Amino acid sequence: MRGLPRARRRQGKIDRRDTPTGIRRSASHAVSSLHRRTNEGAKMPHANGLPTVVALATGGTIAGQGSAGKATNYRPGQIDVNTLLQLAAPDFDLANLRGEQVCNVNSDDITSEHWTELARAINRLAADPDIDGFVVTHGTDTLEETAYFLNLTVKTDKPVIITGAMRPATATSADGPMNLRQSIALAGNPLARGKGVLVVFSDGIFGGRDVRKISTIQTDAFSANDFGCMGYMVDGVPHIFNAPVKPHTLATEFDVEGLSTLPSVAVAYFAVDADPAVLRFHVDRGARGLVIAGAGAGCYSTPWNNAIVELEETGIPVVRASRIGAGLITHDDFYRGNLIDGSDLPPQKAAVLLRLALTRTSSRTEIQRMFDTY
C-alpha cells in the first residue's frame, strides 16, 4: 500500500506530534530503556532459555503512521525498530531481542545499496554463536524482491524471516504487530533453520524465492501462486509442510562482500502496440541486461523480436519472463537469438537474478545455467 507523496514523508524519525497517544505511551518504556542498548547491539534482558533474535528494520507500512484509525494516506517509515518491537512483544516473552535500524524508508525507495548492506549485516551478525535468527521488517511493495535477493546472498543457515504490514501502525486492527510477533517466534525456532529466507505474512509462511505480493489492499497480501505456502504460524508455533528445492543461502555462488551496488538491469513491459524503441532506450541509458515482461508465455511482437535480436548481437543478455504471474517459461525456437529463459520467475525477480549473475559473468550460457539452477 502506498503512503503520501515523497515530498511529504519524513524518513528515519518519529514526529511525536503525529504519533497517537496509545502508541506513544505503550512504547515509551521500550524507547527509554532499550534505545541505547539496541543501538549498541546489546541484548534485551530476558529469562534464560529464550532464543536470541536480531530485528533489522528498513521502514515501510509496518513502521508507518497517519490519522488515527485510518489505513490509507499515511507516511511509511516513521516508527523506529525499538517501538516496533515493543508493539509486537511488549512482554519480551518470545526471544532475547536486539534491534538495528538499517534504514527507514518506503520500500519503493529501497535500492541495491540497501540490499547489499542488509545482506552483509546479516552475514556479519550470523557469525555470533549467541544469535539464533533474524527478522527483517520491510515495506510490502518490494518485499518479494528483497526476499529473493537475500535468499541468494545470505551466507547462513540460521532463520532469516521477512515481514511487513498492509496497514500502518496507527490504523485500527493494524496487522504489523502480529506479523512481527509471528516472525520473531519463527526466527527463534530451529524448524526454520536451513530453509532459506522465509516470509511470514497473515499467518502464512512462504519461501523467499516463490513469494509474491498479490493484493494492493487485503491484509492477506502474499502468496506463492502455483507452489502454495510452506506452512502456517499458529499462536507462535510453526507448522511447516514443505521446503524449498532450489539452492539458497549457503548453497549459492553469489557473494556480496565487496559489492556496494549491482549492475543495472531494465524490465521492459510488452503490451499491444508497445514501441520496441524502449529496449534501445534502456541500453543507451546504461542497462547491462534486459528482462522482458512478455504476454502469455513470455511472448511479444515481431518488431520487438527484431529489436531484441539486434541487442543480443551487441552482447546484451535478454531474459524472457511473463507478466501473467503463474506458469513457466521454456525454450521456444520461434524466438530468434540467444534469449535466456526466465523459468517461473516473475519479471521483477528475474531482474534480481540477472543483476547478481552479471556480477559473475556475461556469458549467456552461464546466465541460463543460473536461471535453471536458482
Active site residues: 61
Q: What is the DSSP letter of 328?
A: -
100 forms beta bridges with: 56
Q: What is the DSSP letter of 190?
A: G
Q: From the CA atom positions of the chain, what is the Rg in Å?
A: 21
Please check whether residue 57 is in contact with residue 102, taking contact to mean a CB–CB distance below 8 angstroms: yes
Q: Which residue in this structure is represented by grid cell 534505545?
A: 35
CA distances (Å), origin 168, targets 58, 217, 279: 14, 12, 38
Angle at which helices 143-153 and 347-358 pack, to 10 degrees?
A: 30
Closest among 163, 132, 158 to 60, alpha carbons compared: 163
Distance between CA 134 and CA 54 in Å, rounded?
5
Query: Could you tell me where the DSSP H helices lie in the chain?
Result: 21-40, 81-88, 112-126, 143-153, 176-187, 277-284, 302-312, 347-358, 364-373
Phi, psi of 339 (to 5 degrees): -60, 145
Distance between CA 135 and CA 52 in Å, rounded?
11
